Amino acid sequence: MHQFVSTTEIEIDIDRMVDTYGNMLFRICLVILCNESDAEDAVQDTFIKYLSKAPTFNDSEHEKAWFITVATNRCKNMRRYNIIRRHLDINDLQLYCRNEENYGLLEALMKLPHKQKAVLLLHYVEGYKIEEIAKILSITAAAVKKRLQRGRELLRQNYREEEK
Amino acid sequence: MDERKIKDAVNSIEMSKAIENRLKTKCFDPNREKSRQINFKKWGSVASAVGILLLLLINLPFISNYGNSQMATFTITAYAADNTGHELLKEKTTFDLATLERIGVLTSISGDGDNLIFTNVSLNVSGENIDSIFYEINKGTFIEDVILSKEEVANWDKLVLEKINYLTNAPNSEIFQGIKYIGNTFTVKYSEQQKYKYSLAIPPHNSLEEEILINVTVTYKDGTSEQQDIVVNHESGSISLVLD
């Protein structure tokens, strides 16, 4: 038996998804890609994938993890194909970041390598445990631990330099 | 560093209302398509393939049917006792050794002459705009047959100085034939090849551990040069030359 979904239902669904996950995904993508239009593209592609695949989720946590996985993979691919790595200018940060005190830390975070950046974001910002991050990024728990440790070291180092 | 600061900093980023609206509109657009990224990996492969193709096209005129680099534009001709020229090719050119009789009556001037087979095989190069030719043999030497009078032969010091190491003469004759050592290299002007015609003297085949090679390098008038190698094989009673 076919289940027909009306256009209005799809519209409501995507509105709900953008409202729920839009901001979170944009933050993750912006920090990883360091570019507003690339981040917007990555988020848009994530929602398009959601609409075309119409995945079913066990719960809201599963749903959130799915969106993060798709978005981080998209960022990874975009970075791979963008030879020139762009960094967000401190002036551009003012457009998205409300608190001026955070500019230095955000800049230091954005300068980190992609691998460490993604792990730090998922652990410290989204609150995922090591095993959960390993599942989302399809890497081993040991690799997550290593990236976290290295990421913290690099961030501390970058942040100190930013503050000088 | 307080790790909560990371959370606060990242969470202070907010997507603008304009982006939010664009996302909602674009995602709902039935003609939507994924953002296009230039696939450098894919285009890199295409660029490599085009590069290889160009390289092949550029080098095609220089590749022979056998896949080897095209032959140099000069030809080497070998002359032996009969004075008939034989152009050297990838196939063997064989000459009979008419020198064995001569060895029997040789007189060594210096007394410590090398054990060599003196052939009367000489080389000549033909080509256009050639300025000079340089020859180098890895085993043996180039020699020149010289005619000497009785008086000249009497001055052995001069003979040694001029590197005339061997003498031979017909019985009761006052005309001597000398063998002058040229060395394992020599350079000759293209127009003076007939004047400086040197023959090959090679070690006997049973004393050789590696093949005899003659390197022929021609220098053109524009300063460029080309080279070819000749492999020399000494067989029983004959000598063969083949382009390497």
Q: Specify whether the backbone of B108 is left (phi greater than 0), alpha (psi in -120 to 50) or beta.
A: beta
Tell me the average pLDDT across B62-78: 63
Residue of B nearest to A125 (CA): B7
Of B3, B12, B34, the CB nearest to A98: B12
Collect all residues with Cβ–Cβ distance below 8 Å to A96 and sequence separation of at least 6.
Answer: A30, A36, B13, B14, B15, B16
- The A residues from 82 to 121 touching B (CB cutoff 8 Å) are 82-83, 95-99, 102, 105-106, 109, 120-121
pLDDT of residue B161: 78
Residue recorded with tokens 């942040």: A159
As a whole number of Å, the CA-based R_g of chain A is 17
d(CA A76, CA A101): 29
Q: Cβ A27–B32 below 8 Å, yes or no? A: no
Collect all residues with Cβ–Cβ distance below 8 Å to B35 and sequence separation of at least 6.
Answer: A41, A42, A44, A45
Helices (H), chain B: 4-11, 17-28, 40-59, 100-104, 150-154, 156-161
More confident residue, B206 or B37: B206
More confident residue, A162 or B21: B21
Distance from CA of A142 to the nearest CA of B (A): 20
Q: Tell me whether strands B199-202 and B212-220 are parallel, antiparallel or unpaired.
A: unpaired
Q: Cβ B13–A10 below 8 Å, yes or no? A: no
Query: Chain-centre distance of CA B118, in angstroms?
Result: 25
For residue range A124-140, list pLDDT tens digits in order. 999 999 999 999 988 89
More confident residue, A14 or A65: A65
pLDDT at B32 over 70: no
Classify B232 as helix, strand or coil. Answer: strand
Q: Which two tokens stand for residue B121?
A: 């095989």
Identify any residues that bridge with B117 across adjacent strands, giving them in sequence order.
Answer: B202
pLDDT of residue B117: 78
Q: Cβ B32–A47 below 8 Å, yes or no? A: no
d(CA B113, CA B120): 18
pLDDT of residue A123: 94
- The A residues from 51 to 80 touching B (CB cutoff 8 Å) are 51, 77-78, 80
Task: Give contacts of A152 with chain B, Cβ < 8 Å.
Answer: 1, 3
Contact call for residues B126 and B208 (beta carbons, < 8 A): no
Lowest mean per-residue pLDDT among A46-50, B66-70, B97-101: B66-70
For residue range B153-194, list pLDDT tens digits in order. 778 787 877 787 777 776 677 777 788 888 889 999 999 988
Listed residue (A67, A159, A151) closest to A114, CA to CA? A151
Q: Where are the beta strands (DSSP E) in B29-116?
A: 75-79, 85-87, 93-96, 107-108
Task: Give contacts of B3 with chain A, Cβ < 8 Å.
Answer: 124, 152
pTM above 0.80, yes or no: no
d(CA B83, CA B242): 18
The three-state DSSP-derived secondary structure of chain A is CCCCCCHHHHHHHHHHHHHHHHHHHHHHHHHHHCCHHHHHHHHHHHHHHHHHHCCCCCCHHHHHHHHHHHHHHHHHHHHHHCCCCCCCCHHHHHHHECCHHHHHHHHHHHCCCHHHHHHHHHHHHCCCCHHHHHHHHCCCHHHHHHHHHHHHHHHHHHHHHHHC
From the number of C-beta atoms within 10 Å of its C-beta (0-12, 13-18, 19+), residue B38 rates as exposed
pLDDT of residue A67: 93
Q: Binning pLDDT at 50, 70 and 90, where does residue B103 land? A: very low
More confident residue, B93 or B40: B93
Interface test with A, best of B2, B27, B28 (most A CBs within 10 A): B27
More confident residue, B236 or B67: B236
Task: Give contacts of B10 with chain A, Cβ < 8 Å.
Answer: 27, 31, 106, 109, 121, 125
Query: Chain-centre distance of CA A113, in angstroms?
Result: 14
Q: Cβ A40–B19 below 8 Å, yes or no? A: yes
d(CA A123, CA A131): 10
Q: Does A31 touch chain B (CB under 8 A)?
A: yes
Distance from CA of A51 to the nearest CA of B (A): 8
* Backbone φ, ψ for residue A134 (5° rounding): -55, -40
Classify B39 as helix, strand or coil. Answer: coil
More confident residue, B59 or B222: B222
Percent of chain A with pLDDT strictly greater than 70: 83
Q: Which two tokens stand for residue B202?
A: 């090679």
How many CA atoms lie less than 13 Å away from B235 in the CB half-sphere?
Answer: 10
d(CA B161, CA B215): 27
pLDDT of residue B173: 74
Residue of A nearest to B13 (CA): A97
